[in-house]
Structure 1
Amino acid sequence: MPPVTEADAGYRAGIAALAQGTPDAALPLLQAAERAGEGGGFAALNLGLALMQLGRLSQAEAALTRAAAALPDHPEPYFRLGTIAGVRGEAGRAEALFLAALDRAPHHVTALAALAALAEAAGHLAQAADLVARARAADPEEPELELAAARLALLRGEAEAAAAGAAAVLAQRPAHPAAAKLYAEALLARLDPTAALAVVAARAAEDPFAAGWALAAARLHAAAGQPAAALAEWQAAALLAPEQPEVLALLGLALDEAGRRAEAEPLLRAAITARPTDLDLRNRLATMLWRNGRSAAMLEVLDQAMVEFGPQPTLMMNRALALNAVGRQAEALESADAAVPAGGVLALVNRIAVLPYHPERGHALALRDCGRAIAAKLGPAAPAVHRPREAGRRLRVGLLSGGLGRHPVGWLTVAGLEALPAAEFSLHAFALKPREDMLAARFRACCAGWHEMQHRSDAEIAAAIAAERIDILIDLGGYGESGRLFVLQHRPAPVQIKWVGAQFSTTGLGCVDWMLTDRWETPAGFEHLYSERLLRLPDGYVCYAPPAYAPPVTLLPALAGQGAAKGVRFGCFNNLAKVTPAVLTAWARILAALPEATLELRTPVLSEASAREGLLARMATAGLPAERVTLLGGVPHQALLAAYGGIDIALDPFPYTGGLTVCEALWMGVPVVSLAGDSFAGRHALSHLSNIGLPDWVATTPEAYVAQAVARARDLPALAAVRAGLRARVAASPLVDAPRFGRGLAAALRRAWSECCAMG
């Protein structure tokens, strides 16, 4: 660096501010210095560093490019540009820039370390090890290099060496989250969680003020399925190292999982402020907002990240989910499609998750083709595990799900599973999310075995299932948020079945032998749309468990307490992902034909102002009058059910129709007008309405859907009669007849097992 002169006073002040850790103060000083020609190319270089620290990567890139032009022989501009490329996921460009830095300084330690990380990510472990060794020769005291070497040791299967390396890093940097994580992983490679926790406890006793041991213990408690103990360790780590952004982020995520959302979000946002170039933190915040139903806020986080980090696959995938959730289905699929070339199998899973909501492309053939693409990317499944195959013996049935509690999966399966004859079947839960509620208690009561699997890998979950000698494994998660469908690729059970839980289409996977269904979801002739064999139940494919706290059915609102009839109030309580432009257009036509009618939309995302504004804009495009539509956010479940007391007719969306929402509306006395499609998701309502004897409420074209809604609304006496008897009709139907459903499910499972036995 050239000597600083009196003429470089502004540049000097900017450097001082940067050295003091105040890049926001350094920024205007360095900008002015560069404009004045102070500091030569070093003003642009340090301006780039300040902008990077503030997370303004696009501006930093421009400044560093100017620095590289002004300082062609200096390695630092190239290294920093490579860092930005790496953060953006541009591995090839990052490698070229790091190599350019090494051309100018062959012993540039951080460039060597960065190249090692790229090699490790690409699976080139020998190359990574060579680069780490070169870097350590240049700087043998750097803990990050020791950690890199330890991580490579674990990847080579050298768990003891990895643990020793991670422990050495923690001895120098006691609150290093990555070192603590690696230490926990290395212990788990050799020990069970209980033994590993004992090792960490001994370490902590020697140095009780080192946050790293609390961090490692938190990881181990999480792996053991002990979320409360893990949270306590995250809290202890945050008290010991309150200045560590990553520790704050981990505590925030743990608080979120514990349902303490108000405490969680500020911690994650503070971590992002401290480390604005950490893309992973942005994605973690986005994921937390998603889980909490704040999709509009999630979209804002992702859009801001896109400006600085570019169209990285993880951002594009998360953005697809957020766009879909706020009702922008076409844009969601575009974002999902854009992630596919570089995003691998996870991008294809993301695509199939948003595809069924698309108003034109969400049909069964497209979903089948997407499932096949996932299967092709995964490759063949493992060979099926061997089990004694006596056709008539008692069977061990595994349930793989994150929804074994108050969740759509719970409401639609628990009663039927309870009704399975215990003499013929024993149930074993492999729970992917801890739940403590009344439905979770029912699941626990009917299961002979319970295994918390939340923090286990697919292979570990499969091994646990195989160890329990499961004969029939039922997946209840699919390609949904907490699904772990790829566990089935390991073939831990001889018979593997897909049932409720993101059951919107075929999975496309050869490892899924059967799809539990019914004659309405998949009538004869639909077989070519599924990779699974269709295991049709005698009635509907679900058994609804109405909540005991559901309020009584009210009188028809259009007639109740009125001297004369008033306008019908339509309602839709589905999420906005299902409310497509075609749906809004159909609703506009219905309201146009019924000048006194109104519409109520209720879903959690409508609590967010930007989501409401976006929906109002789409309504205006469709011709749906805003003054006749009420937009309401989420409420507790009992209040949601009570809200049906103000609805005369429910309007089901399409092409992804309602499932649990249809069951709830019917139980609350509100009939549902629906439009059947050809996908599994497009026929949920048809199944439920047919199962209670009301198939004539289902249309087959948008025109018939509109005509159906208008005709039903104009016949208030008939509508009142339907409402008065609807709960009794549902109560007497197979939809809620658990003993009947249990017999049908038992016969279906026995058939699947018998055919497996016959195949040898």
Structure 2
Amino acid sequence: MLLPMLVAATALATAADVPSLPSFPLDQLSPAVRDRVAAAERRAKEEPRSAAALGGLGMLLHAYDQLSSAAAAYDRARALDPTAFEWPYLAGAVRLRMGQAAEAAAALKEAVARQPGSLPARTRLGEALLATGDAKQARDLYRALVAGHPEAPQAHYGLGRAAAALGDATAAVESDRAAIRVFSAYGAAHYALGLLLRDLGRRDEAQEELRLYQQHVLDAPPLEDPVMDRVLALAQGADEALAEGVRLAQAGDTTGAIRLNELALELDPARTRAHANLIALYAGTGRWEKVEEHYRAAAAVASGQTEVEYNYGLALQQQGRASEATEAFRRVLVTSPLHAPAHNQLGLLLEAEGKVEEAAEQYRQAAADQAAYRAARFNLGRALVRLGRPLEAIAQFEQILDPEDEETPRYAYALGAAWARAGDRGKAIARLEDARRRAAARGQSDLVASIDRDLDRLLVKSP
């Protein structure tokens, strides 16, 4: 009954119940930040009954680590709007950071009552309950989280902490191992598990976990938290949100990358780079309606944006819309004639139409525009082989054997095959054997099998 009662009590708030707005010390902030906070404070004073104005001020203060001031603003916003989720959630998060566990737990219970499905709010509530010493309630909460979100390592780790606090080391070990199975680089879980194993007398296992903790001391699993992302972005701005989105995309966190790029657009709707990124990210998840949405939005801001058109062309290509993709890449080349990837993709589309000579010219242009563009040179070599010009192809393949990476065995294989097409059996065998060695070293068994078949044919003696 506690959570509904909290909501009801908040709903009955009167003007007398709303905490007064304190003055905020701004001296320690930089001049630029001070001006932003002062503007937000003026708005809050001009709109004293606006939860959005008070909450916005709190978020800005929170972003710059003015935690006690942020908490005061959040508390006023909570009282003004008894239905909003973000103000009690952020108030709880701030008070948890300040070490005010009981106040944090009360605010987070209010937030969970308003949005029961929020994984971040429930996770933080579990932390607050543990900090107040209420391990049994924390255990119940984390058990429910594990049941509903077995993919969330934070839920398993929290359940392990609760079990350890209740003296159930066996259950705690099991939960920490579950957290690590979901996210192997979870530094805090490795540390907790190491201490548990040490206390159980399992020294070797404990040492291994503590070694892994040292290796991942700063690593923690991501948690999708749009509300907190809005706070963090206030201190960062659109540029930083874009940069973090790129980092997350490179790390394989597509969901997080989408969230940060969308956030960059909230901060600056004119950022066509964010639209370009989102076109690529949504294409990777097959959400074609979002691809079209961001392409249209980018065009409304400024037409002919190179990366927008290029990523849109790739998305069209993925959908099998070849003629439209061709036109998109041609539009890229009108505004950016030296765009090597666009030349390469256009070449692939032309080659698929049987226009091999035209495709080769596009590949050649891509390689000329970007000398280190190995994929374009590889495609040029393939096209030249198809055109019956293996010696020219060999010259291209020989230029892409360095650096040594996952693609090199395939390029070496193409070189050996080109020598075979050129009629030089000895060089073909030598190059294919080299390609086989490279492929085997990288565990590329399918490629090894293909090379073996070609070698078998070449090694059969003529009658």
TM, length-normalised to structure 2: 0.41
Greater helix fraction, Structure 1 or Structure 2: 2
Structure with the larger RCO, 1 or 2 (CA within 8 Å, 6+ apart): 1
